[in-house]
Amino acid sequence: MAATPQPADALPRTMSEVRQRVDALDRALVPLLVQRAHCMHDAARIKQHAHEVRDEARIEAVVHHVRALAVQHGGDADFMETLYRAMMDCFIAYEARLFAQRSRTATDLERP
């Protein structure tokens, strides 16, 4: 998502150009998402009880934060909230799986 609208002469004219831009953004995004997923390993190691994995108060705090960040970067707060709620559901499912594995093996997980 660009911080400011692009000048008309810099706008992509073809789908190939649009997709090149999307691919470049994904190359930047995926490593950050991998790092975010690594935080779930840490959370699954630190949390003591399965009911702590989903933390509604923290979810609302993250949503509040990313809505403000979206606006700050010229984006749409409602879109960012929808994206983050769906994404956090995925992270929570991932963390729950890690927590269950940890509980089964009764050993602390190491970061990959």
Question: Contact positions toward ligand PRE, by CB under 6 A?
Answer: 43, 54-55, 58-59, 62, 88, 91-92, 95
Q: Which C-beta is closer to ligand PRE: that of 1 or that of 33?
A: 33
Task: Compute the least distance from the CB of residue 8 to ligand PRE, in Å.
Answer: 38
CA-based torsion, 52, 46, 92, 28: positive or negative: positive
Q: How far apart are CA 8 and CA 16, in angstroms?
A: 17
**Angle between helical axes of 77-105 and 15-46 (0-180°, round to 10):** 40
Q: Which C-beta is closer to ligand PRE: that of 83 or that of 92?
A: 92
Task: Compute the least distance from the CB of residue 92 to ligand PRE, in Å.
Answer: 5
Q: How far apart are CA 3 and CA 98, in angstroms?
A: 36
Task: Compute the least distance from the CB of residue 24 to ligand PRE, in Å.
Answer: 25
